[in-house]
Structure 1
Amino acid sequence: MSHKVSSCEVLVAGGGIIGAACARALALRGLRVVICEPGPEPAAASAASAGILGPQIERTDEALRALGLRARDLYDTLAAALSETTGIDIGLWREGIASLAFEEAEAERLRDAVAHQRQAGLRCDWLEPADVAERFPATAPCLGAMFAPEDGAVDAPALTRALLADAKRLATRTFATRVNRINTILGRVTGVEIPAGKIKAEHVVIAAGAWSTQIDHLPRPLPVEPVRGQMAAAPWPANMPRTVLYYDHSYVLARSGEAIFGSTMEHAGFDGSVTPAGIAEIMAAARRMLPHLPPVPTRTWAGLRPLTPDGRPIVGADPDVRGLWYATGHGRNGVLLAGLTGDIIASLITTGESEVEIASLAPERFTS
């Protein structure tokens, strides 16, 4: 780091999708922002993400689904804005996700989910087996599918690049370094320590994903655990239109001519390696949906998703240290919630309020 820059208004610890979204949103509001990101980390969640925007398809609680719906719908304006300011296409695609049923119990669960969502005023359909075969001709015969026509996906690596590029356009500075610890005086954050020295900051945002827990001197333990998600890719079937398919907790989606499929959910610490057993598991699920996929993928990788005990992210102010903010623990929903998280953090820091209800995301909810 250059010692010519020793202070800022907001320091964001972490430059993945969440950190980049927070930095951009803060810079849009005129704040002087610094990002500290030691990367590239091959196992970071942002680089490994499939980029699915599936609040209606993913199994979750109602509070998180409501946030997800709001976050998903932000992407129409976000994609256009990023394309205009950076020239980067984030690959936004919103033509629907189908969750396939191969067992009667799963078909019954999905029919109930369709009815529940329609009652709540959401667009959601049940596709009979013939409808599935017509829409998705390469799929295996099934008992039907839940179809959420407004869910979709983005290109997660492109999204990260675009958010960082726009933040830099707005004078955000990025340093390739990790944050070792935060500094406080009398219950107020004063900055951070990095390997090369100190940076003064009026506000610090903890957005380092699974690595957030490795920052010293936080006023509370963060119950964020790295959960490994192994993924793989193969050529997309030639007779299949672009789509996203789910089966149980597994998925297949089309991106740049490839079928991207995943994902395991393994408690393996910070081990971001790929294992034969993990790849076999996701290949079996993918080929259950698309039988004509090759038995061996063309490439494989893994990412570490930051997961909390209740599956909800930690977003908001630390109740004991003024100027300390959290934006971490997003699990499988980091891409989906990125833009909304950035807006929430920026609004909290600049106005002290958020128009989005975030009580269920409060850091202190884990304190007995």
Structure 2
Amino acid sequence: MAAPFVNDDAALGREVEKALEDRHRAGLEGLVGDLAAVVVNVGPDDVLPAARELVEATALTAVAALDDPLSVLGGPCLLLRDGLGADFLVKSRPPGPNPFAPYNTGAKTGPDAPARLETFVFACQDVPAYWRLQRERGVAFLTEAPIETDTFVFIQTVPSAHTGNALGCIQWKRRPGAFVHGGSRPLDLALPAKPAHPWLRRIRGLDHVATRVRARDRNAAIAEFVALTNHHFAFAVYVESLNSITSVARLGPGDYAQVFTSGISPLAGDAAAAGPTERFIANYGVRPHHAAFAVSDIEAVVAGLAGAGLGFLSGLVGSPEEGLKQIFSVMSPTTLLVNEYIERYDGFDGFFTKSNVTHLTRATEKQ
């Protein structure tokens, strides 16, 4: 009888090392830079509500409404920008096949849930070269060739079997962030207004996004991400009491980080022993769980957001002495994303602490 599957970092290290060697050997090293944008898909009636939620709870401002600028399919899309981190493209795809659909459903979503942070779009020095080299390695893309406009060149992978997310690469022709191009069709949509609340000015750009993946897919998901980007695996925090691992891939200090949360062991018959991470996947599918925004004076931010009606899964966790404070909002009904707000204090040289990860993971039991 085979021993039960249990994750460990030694096995992950071997897979990541091979991915790094293959990346270097293929000539991909250094081609991919920092995160440029995330694409969030929602239902056809939820584009404006979803954008409004983000505008009212982050530093993002809605700056344009147009046909989806990155897809040959079209569909309404709102561009949200804060000038501090990655842009948000909030869109709704037209009727037809949805390559992300198999990953969106769970016990609490129903069979046709469209809501998902679908694609992470990274800056790239040479998209045609990236596409050619990755295709030679067997990577599959959603289009037969890169999409080229007068302002950018773009390519996007098919959704990952491990995370349900796609990865896009964009090469700017003139200036970074020029999603609006000569073929863009402006849409007659009323952009949500940016509130003048003072606490919103204390929110910064996107710090990280955490995707929940099955325990058995953890190593493959991280190795795949490393192979498709210029990131490297940095560290993992194990919370044995909750059967959960939080793993972090980083590009460099201060850059966007990709986070993967999984079980230590797979979901089994005992739902209580499975822990909140594996149960979340059973309820909602493999998907990004939260988008984290850096802030200053987190107490003022949270008090302001709570006063404006945003709910939270717990109180603030952490302290200046520990180096950081964090909190999770409730899940958005339109995007199925949680907002995290995180403040790191001067002198803190880490990314997370085990205490904070434990408290926040436990808070998601309510989902």
Same structural fold, with TM-score higher than 0.5 when normalized by the shorter chain: no
Query: RCO higher in 1 or 2 (8 Å CA, sep ≥ 6)?
Result: 1
Q: Quick check: which has more Rg, 1 or 2?
A: 1
Structure that is richer in helix per residue: 1
What is the TM-score when the length of structure 2 is the normalising length? 0.28
What is the TM-score when the length of structure 1 is the normalising length? 0.28
